[in-house]
């Protein structure tokens, strides 16, 4: 086994001319569909591309951006979270638009846009606080006498400023439309400027809300289309946090800003788990010479990939969660002798429990349950993983792989030297003393699973696996 291993999944490379070459989620089709939608919008608009945290939005956007560039679309990608330091998102958006427009004929228009936008930029909070503090320090004695006068003057200035800003807003939009037209003509096929915004839901609430306001009030002009990738639930929480109330209808509020909402489709879990298997070099374990000597290990690799994808599909795991589970499973497998009868799916399952079913995990770790209780809980909690019935024409099936996992789990648990072993199998009769729910597992199936699980497992106990998982900070 190689001395070095990967613990972190690195973003795949994106190649010009074939941007979805390293797409392991099967989402090439949504890229084409999204391009078609963007191309059909001529009056400008904002699109929300929704997906949960860890669902692969950022990777998809990088590939889609390259796909647009290959088709000669003018395109900008802004990571909103990385621009929080700018205080006002208007600064970040104008800067990105400026970078997208390189032709000489746009220089004057850009200069005018910058000048007009400056009048709408909110002053940094630190600057305002320092100015106010200095003013109070210098004139504390005059405050009470001049407050009425200052309030009146401030109101007059506000009205005058409002009139001026209203005109500036119209002028700013006109210049933005002119700029978009210039960029549009440069593309040679009247393609809109596509402005992609990522990581908006990771921003602090006030910045996220201000960004939405900037897009809606300033940039909804002809030939500019904004595509915002967001975890809608997180963004709704940001809105509630900004307004200080959980009673606000955040979902309805968001409809004011997005003209169209498109959900990022679920990934091809089978394809992605094949990729994780290769990326984390799990063949180092499964295809080692020592392990291949034993016919019993023949299907372990396929069983492992099937079980990983089943967890993703039936437990609704995100791509990032699958990445982490696979990385930590690889770490535990590196410490298992490759020539033993150790069943690798057991590592994968217990690692999953450590992340997502801590009650089950601690019951195993601390030896709190009987073997019958483990069987009962497994059937109750992981019914969806058991619903693949065996194919009578296939000597190996996913259902049988699950049965073997149950057998190995119970036998390894029962081998724990910290507790008195239970009599779970009558070798003379060839039958188990445990009682399955036969709606899910037939009695004879469990008999066979425990019989085979006992072979070569006499010395293996789960505590060895827990020693590695407990030292890892994975919460």
Q: pLDDT tens across 111-124, in order?
A: 887 887 788 876 54
| pLDDT band at 440; cut points 50, 70, 90 | confident
| pLDDT of 364 above 60 | yes
> Which two structure tokens, joined as six digits, stand for 45?
């608009």
Q: What's the confidence (pLDDT) of residue 186?
A: 65
Residue 352: name the closest of 332, 336, 369 by CA: 332
Residues 6+ apart with CB under 8 A from 167: none
| pLDDT band at 388; cut points 50, 70, 90 | low
Rounded-to-integer distance, Cα 349 and Cα 307, Å: 9
Give the residue with greater pLDDT, 157 vs 380.
380
Put the strands of the sheet holding 260-263 in their side by side order. Answer: 75-79, 193-198, 224-230, 45-50, 260-263
| pLDDT band at 319; cut points 50, 70, 90 | very high
Residues 6+ apart with CB under 8 A from 204: 84, 238
| pLDDT band at 134; cut points 50, 70, 90 | very low
| pLDDT of 147 above 60 | no
Rounded-to-integer distance, Cα 439 and Cα 325, Å: 30
Q: What's the confidence (pLDDT) of residue 127?
A: 40
Q: What's the confidence (pLDDT) of residue 396?
A: 47
Give the residue with greater pLDDT, 101 vs 244.
244
Q: What's the confidence (pLDDT) of residue 338?
A: 58
- Residue identified by tokens 């070099």 is 281
Q: What confidence tens digit (pLDDT) does each residue in 227-254 have?
A: 999 999 988 888 888 888 777 888 888 8
| pLDDT of 448 above 60 | yes
| pLDDT band at 473; cut points 50, 70, 90 | low
Q: What's the confidence (pLDDT) of residue 426?
A: 72
> Which two structure tokens, joined as six digits, stand for 258?
């997005």
Q: What's the confidence (pLDDT) of residue 123?
A: 52
Residue pair 44/225 in contact (Cβ under 8 Å)? The answer is: yes
- The least confident of 215-219, 348-352, 452-456 is 452-456
Q: What confidence tens digit (pLDDT) does each residue in 264-317 have?
A: 999 999 999 999 999 999 988 888 888 888 777 778 888 899 999 999 998 999
Rounded-to-integer distance, Cα 301 and Cα 396, Å: 13
Q: What's the confidence (pLDDT) of residue 341?
A: 61
Rounded-to-integer distance, Cα 195 and Cα 329, Å: 39
Render 173-227 in DSSP notation, one character per residue: HHHHHHHHHHHHHHTSS-PPEEEEEE-GGGS-HHHHHHHHHHHHHHS--TTEEEE
Q: What's the confidence (pLDDT) of residue 47?
A: 94
Average pLDDT score over residue span 120-142: 49
| pLDDT of 461 above 50 | yes
Angle, alpha carbons 93-54-352 (nearest 5°): 165
Rounded-to-integer distance, Cα 415 and Cα 447, Å: 18
What share of the chain has pLDDT > 90, as a percent? 31
Q: What's the confidence (pLDDT) of residue 463?
A: 78
**What value does the mean pLDDT of the chain take?**
80
Residue 116: name the closest of 183, 52, 177 by CA: 177
Rounded-to-integer distance, Cα 57 and Cα 50, Å: 8
Q: 50 - beta bridge partners?
A: 230, 263
Angle, alpha carbons 394-397-398 (nearest 5°): 160
- The least confident of 118-127, 324-333, 432-441 is 118-127
Burial class (CB in 10 A: 0-12, 13-18, 19+), 390: middle
Average pLDDT score over residue span 73-82: 91
Give the residue with greater pLDDT, 261 vs 131.
261
Residues 6+ apart with CB under 8 A from 334: 1, 5, 285
What share of the chain has pLDDT > 70, as a percent? 80
Ranges 39-48, 308-317, 466-475, most confident: 308-317
Radius of gyration of the CA atoms of the chain, in A: 30
Q: What confidence tens digit (pLDDT) does each residue in 151-202 have?
A: 555 445 545 555 667 777 788 788 887 877 777 666 666 788 899 999 988 8
Q: What's the confidence (pLDDT) of residue 160?
A: 57
| pLDDT band at 131; cut points 50, 70, 90 | very low
| pLDDT of 129 above 50 | no
Q: What's the confidence (pLDDT) of residue 470?
A: 77
């Amino acid at each position: 086994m190689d001395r070095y291993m990967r613990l972190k999944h690195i973003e795949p490379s994106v190649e010009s001319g074939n941007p979805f070459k390293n797409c392991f989620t099967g989402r090439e089709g949504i890229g084409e569909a999204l391009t078609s939608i963007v191309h059909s919008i001529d009056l400008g608009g904002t699109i929300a591309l929704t997906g949960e945290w860890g669902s692969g939005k950022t990777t998809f956007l990088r590939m889609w951006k390259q796909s647009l560039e290959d088709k000669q679309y003018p395109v900008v990608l802004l990571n909103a979270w990385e621009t929080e330091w700018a205080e006002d998102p208007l600064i970040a958006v104008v800067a990105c638009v400026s970078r997208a427009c390189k032709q000489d004929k746009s220089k004057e228009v850009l200069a005018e846009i910058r000048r007009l936008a400056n009048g709408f930029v909110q002053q940094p909070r630190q600057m305002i606080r320092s100015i106010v503090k200095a003013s109070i320090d210098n004139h504390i004695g005059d405050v009470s006498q001049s407050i009425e006068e200052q309030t009146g003057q401030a109101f007059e200035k506000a009205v005058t400023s409002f009139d001026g800003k209203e005109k500036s807003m119209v002028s700013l939009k006109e210049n933005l439309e002119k700029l978009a037209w210039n960029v549009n003509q440069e593309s040679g096929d009247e393609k809109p400027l596509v402005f992609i915004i990522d990581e908006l839901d990771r921003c602090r609430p006030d910045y996220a809300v201000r960004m939405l306001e900037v897009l809606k009030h300033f940039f909804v002009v002809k030939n500019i289309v904004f595509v915002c990738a967001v975890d809608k639930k997180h963004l709704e929480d940001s809105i509630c946090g900004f307004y200080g109330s959980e009673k606000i209808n955040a979902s309805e509020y968001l409809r004011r800003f997005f003209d169209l909402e498109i959900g990022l489709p679920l990934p091809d879990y089978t394809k992605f788990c094949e990729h994780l298997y290769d990326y984390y070099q799990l063949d180092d374990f499964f295809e080692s010479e020592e392990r291949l000597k034993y016919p019993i290990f023949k299907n372990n690799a396929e069983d492992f990939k099937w079980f990983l994808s089943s967890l993703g599909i039936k437990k609704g795991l995100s791509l990032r969660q699958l990445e982490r589970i696979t990385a930590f499973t690889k770490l535990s497998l590196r410490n298992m002798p490759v020539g033993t009868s150790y069943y690798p799916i057991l590592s994968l399952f217990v690692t999953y429990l450590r992340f997502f079913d801590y009650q089950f995990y601690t019951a195993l770790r601390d030896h709190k349950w009987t073997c019958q209780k483990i069987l009962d809980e497994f059937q109750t909690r992981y019914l969806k993983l058991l619903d693949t019935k065996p194919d009578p024409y296939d000597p190996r099936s996913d259902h049988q792989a699950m049965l073997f996992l149950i057998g190995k789990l119970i036998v390894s648990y029962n081998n724990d030297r910290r507790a008195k072993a239970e009599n779970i199998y009558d070798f003379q009769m060839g039958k188990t003393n445990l009682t399955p729910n036969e709606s899910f597992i037939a009695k004879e199936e469990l008999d066979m699973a425990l019989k085979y699980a006992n072979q070569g497992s006499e010395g293996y106990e789960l505590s060895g696996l827990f020693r590695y998982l407990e030292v890892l900070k994975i919460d």
